Structure 1
Amino acid sequence: MFCHIKYSRIFESIMTSKLPPALIRSLIENYHIEDEEFIATHTNGEQLTSIRLNPFKHSQAFANSEQMPWCTNGRYLAERPSFTADPLFHAGCYYVQEASSMFLEHVMKNTIDLSENLKVLDLCAAPGGKSTLISSLLTKDSLLLANEIIKTRVPVLCDNLNKWGPENTFVSNNDPKDFKRLEGYFDAIVVDAPCSGSGMFRKDPAAINEWSESAVQLCSQRQQRILADVIDALKQNGTLIYSTCSYSKQENEEISDWLFETFELESIRIPIESEWGIVETQSDDHQCYGYRFYPHKVRGEGFFIAAFRKKSISAFPQIRRARENTVNTKSEEIIKRWLIDSQEIRLINLQEEFFAIPARLEADLSYLQSRLYLKKSGVRIGKVMGKDLVPNHELAVSLLNNPAVHRINLTHDQSISYLKREELRLESDHRGWALMCFEEHPLGWAKILDNRLNNYFPKEIRITNPNVV
């Protein structure tokens, strides 16, 4: 009788909350979740806001905000500000990211030797949250390849990585099956797989109407295809990190069992603190470790993550020395006036534009170009026109700018006008190119002439909301 009353009450709560009954029943049966608390978190209207500071661009942004326990630069905000109206956001001083997904840092620190020079693939990368986090953890001579299969999502991925700053980042627009061409190349692969999205119900209630058991099954099949396509690109003893924003067992623990059965992988247990509220699980068949995030237990949204070590032998990639990519002395002299003084940077000339990458990665660039469709290679510097460089926006927000390049610090209001590509009137004795900055952080380029200032902030990323002031 008690059980009947309990489930009647639960069913009534589910109907009120509009959460899928099948999902709630499966969580109760498989994971014994605290149903009332779980449902309450989806109906009380509470929303969390979290950001991650950029360690390469130190600022006073959110300096007094609460630190996240599993991410060094993760911060909880007491309220959600207008990020669009913050010039430091556009300068790449921080990234707005969901708190649970930042647990990736803790997983990487406990499964990978991050002091080594690594090659890391973020397979399903847009819009760039996990890619920028990975970038923060790698050595400067490591390589990060951020891939996005959907072409229309690539520009925002490139923009977010550009703003983050380092030049050891590449972006590709390829199907997962294309990575079979890179057998044994990566030390680590992160697959934040497309999923049914139930973990985001609190943040995005509209997603509830799109959820179904058939959608879960389709997602599970897609996740298997993606993983099967990319596993060959992981070297022996390399680390595979798999995550979803789903609560469904079919997309999480059952995928772990499938990975264990299909490939020579071993599950890696991640140390966690009990006060974090993260739930450690083990899959039914092979006891693979997984980590579940429930919004009534953690300060974050629904999330699942698991890590594996590859035991099977992979072919060793044959990376030949790159063909000589000559940059004439005149162009090189012009460009280097704009860059920090470093012997570790290699200039690459591609179709009349110049790019900068770590010198150590020149052969890797050629290797990737021969096998993938690259959309970003290091930092795009610009074009040499006559005796001067026409600088690209990527250079402006990168970490490569020579401190001697002329800078103009703007007020907040001037910065917003600049970011809207509006006309600016500034008093300056300088003539020529200048970096427009806010609190010393570059936003983009402008060219100062005798009677006007030409605003070169890219049209495609300008602020278009007229209400932002």
Structure 2
Amino acid sequence: MKLPEAFLQSIEGVKGFDRESFIKVHDEGNQVTSIRINPIKTDAHSLWDSDKEIKLAGVDQASVPTSIPWTNYGYYLPERPSFTFDPLFHAGCYYVQDASSMFLEQAMSQLADLSQPLKVLDLSAAPGGKSTHLLSILSEESLLVSNEVIRPRCNTLIDNIIKWGKSNALVTNNDPAAFKKLPGYFDVIVVDAPCSGSGLFRKDPDAITEWSLNNVALCSQRQQRILADILPALKENGLLIYSTCSYSEAEDESIADWLVNEFEMKNERISLNDEWGIVESVSPGHGAFGYRFYPNKVKGEGFFISCFRKVNEEKEVGGKLPRIDTASSKEKLILKDWLKSDSLEILKDHDTFRALPAIFINDFIRLRGNLNIQYTGTELGQIMKGRLVPDHALALSSLLSPNVASTNLDYAEAIKYLQRKDLATIPQTKGWQTVSYKNHPLGWINALANRINNYYPKEMRILKQSNDSAFEK
């Protein structure tokens, strides 16, 4: 892998940069595979036994996973399986994510009170790595607004939020400037800023051809605009977590100095373990702490993160809240048997129903009046002729009642289901029910007298075919 000389010269002297070993690790081209488990659906012992037998389809049974030290939920895999052909992946039991990005957990756990109800914004959220991570560490009384600026990317974000199974999240599609209409609203704002992408060179060699000093300068200016637009929405004493996948000081330490200069932000320091290999840097102007991840020092890709506390006060603006439609008593009675919680507000949009924890209803109303909301809570489905036609999201949700019928599938049948093919399995009961793999719901079927209707979403079905017997586990 040929790294641009202009790039290497641009980061000479940056703390932690070792030219020789940095070039070597890129030349070797080794890929690190890591996953983060979903704690509401599984744990490490469910994915691999006490004797380290991995249950992920396609992984060598003799391989041994290792923990990522800066998160409670992350693991390095010794090899990369075909996640497409692992039903547990589609069930939302884990998320495939670079280990460096999981350091977000340290920033949140050290600098935010996770026991308290927090309003959190993930500004550039697609495809959903940081949002699903936040949902795993935030309290049930916390609300996550997962925003994506680029509309087509919202669909992938929504799919991953649905897989994660939590209902305390909204997906929005807004430019950062739109959040100025919510002054002083968020306790935490996470800005994983668009950048020149040098931290991804090893993972995505095509990023090398797109890198230039001019692009670094343009990205730095864009990052400043984004931060200037979003900061009014942060509460006094609120936490800003800023990150990039760039090694360039102009996008990292210089932005930290700019935040202190322009907005009087107070930089926050994160405690590190020396064994982690993470490099603590200090900005040249104000001595702001940042944290650099080099692939020759950590098992992960290039990453930078820095955290700030807002000093200036922003006054929340009230105003009249718009009206919303909610389910009638009769409709709630139809939905009751499908849900295990009664502390929900059931929102109605024509014949479609969505569940949101009742404590967030005023937040939802306010957010709907100011933002372009793409997805809310958990979609339950539609009521037709007095009966619920359940939505895929309900099957994967933690809201689903354990009394709803379910049929467990073996591996081969689970893959057929995910390919939206006909099933040979004969359910014990008729009607709507989930199908599961190792007791983890994958979606819905409707078992009729003479056939089974497969309701796995068409747009999510597995299109690839596999004859690899290694997956038959």
Same fold flag (TM > 0.5):
yes
Alpha-carbon deviations, 1:166-198, whole Å to 9, x = none? Answer: 100100000111000111000000000010100
Going from structure 1 to structure 2, the CA distance change for 1:32 and 1:335 (only over 3 Å counts) comes to: closer
Residues 84, 468 of structure 1: 8 Å contact kept: no
Which letter does structure 1 place at the counterpart of 2:125? A
Q: Does 1:174 align with 2:158?
A: no
Given that 1:322 and 1:362 are in contact with CA atoms closer than 8 Å, whether structure 2 keeps it comes out as no
Q: Which runs of 5 or more residues in structure 2 are unaligned?
A: 53-64, 469-473
**TM-score when normalising by structure 2:** 0.93
Per the alignment, residue 231 of structure 1 pairs with 231
Cα 1:214/1:410, change in 2 over 3 Å = same
Per-residue displacement from partner, 1:365-412 (whole Å, max 9, x unpaired)? 000000000001100001111231000011011111110100000001
- Match of 1:346, SS? strand
- 1:12 — aligned with what? none
1:182-201 alignment runs, 5 A limit? 182-201=182-201
Cα distance in 1 for residues equivalent to 2:201 and 2:265: 32
1:32-431 superposed matches below 5 A: 33-58=17-42, 60-62=46-48, 64=52, 65-318=65-318, 323=323, 325-340=325-340, 342-431=341-430
Give the RMSD, CA atoms, in angstroms: 1.4
How far apart, in 1, do the equivalents of 2:281 and 2:319 lie? 40
Q: Is the 8 A contact 1:51 1:76 kept in 2?
A: yes
Q: Deviations for 1:325-357, whole angstroms, at most 9, x for unmatched residues?
A: 4422221111011000x2321111122211100
Could you tell me how far 1:430 is from its partner in structure 2?
A: 1.4
CA contact (8 A) 1:425 1:452 kept: no
Letter in 2 for 1:173: N
Distance 2:327 2:135 in 1: 28
Tell me how far 1:322 sits from its aligned partner. 7.3
Q: Which amino acid aligns with 1:397?
A: L
Q: What is the Cα deviation at residue 314 of structure 1?
A: 0.5
* Secondary structure of 2:111 counterpart: coil
CA distance in 2, matches of 1:70, 1:321: 42
Per-residue CA deviation, residues 414-456 of structure 1 (Å, 9 max, x unaligned), is 0000001011122234111010100111000010111111010
SS at match of 1:75: strand
Equivalent residues, number: 452
Letter in 2 for 1:46: N
Q: Secondary structure at the match of 2:88?
A: helix
Q: Deviations over 1:30-62 (max 9, x none)?
A: 336221111000011211000000001015224
Tell me, what secondary structure is at the counterpart of 1:271? coil
Query: Which AA in structure 1 matches 2:410?
Result: T
Higher mean C-alpha displacement, 258-267 vs 425-434: 425-434
Percentage of matched positions with identical amino acids? 51
CA distance in 2, matches of 1:139, 1:70: 19
Letter of the 2:445 counterpart: A
Letter in 2 for 1:160: N
Does the Cα contact within 8 Å between 1:89 and 1:95 map onto a contact in 2?
yes
Distance between the aligned counterparts of 2:30 and 2:319, measured in 1? 51
Distance 2:47 2:319 in 1: 42
Q: Deviations over 1:121-180 (max 9, x none)?
A: 000000000000001011111100000000110000000010001100100000111000
Shift of 1:25: 1.6
> Deviation of residue 227 (structure 1)?
0.5
Shift of 1:250: 0.4
CA contact (8 A) 2:324 2:365 kept: no
Asked if the contact 2:413–2:425 (Cα under 8 Å) also holds between the matched residues in 1, the reply is no
1:445 aligns with 2:429: no
CA drift of 1:27 comes to: 2.1
What is the alpha-carbon distance in structure 1 between the residues aligned to residue 289 and residue 142 of structure 2?
Answer: 28
Is the 1:322–1:363 Cα contact (8 Å) retained in structure 2? no
Tell me the SS of whatever aligns to 2:187. strand
Instruction: Tell me, yes or no, if the aligned pair for 2:409 and 2:425 is still in contact at 8 Å.
Output: no
* Distance in 2 of aligned mates of 1:283 and 1:117: 32
Distance 2:450 2:84 in 1: 30
Whether contact under 8 Å (1:123, 1:146) holds in the other structure is yes
Does the 8 Å contact 2:122/2:146 carry over to 1?
A: yes
Indicate the residue corresponding to 1:10 in structure 2.
none
Q: Which amino acid aligns with 1:227?
A: L
Shift of 1:29: 2.4
TM-score normalised by length of structure 1: 0.94
Distance across 1 between alignment mates of 2:315 and 2:28: 53
SS at match of 1:43: helix
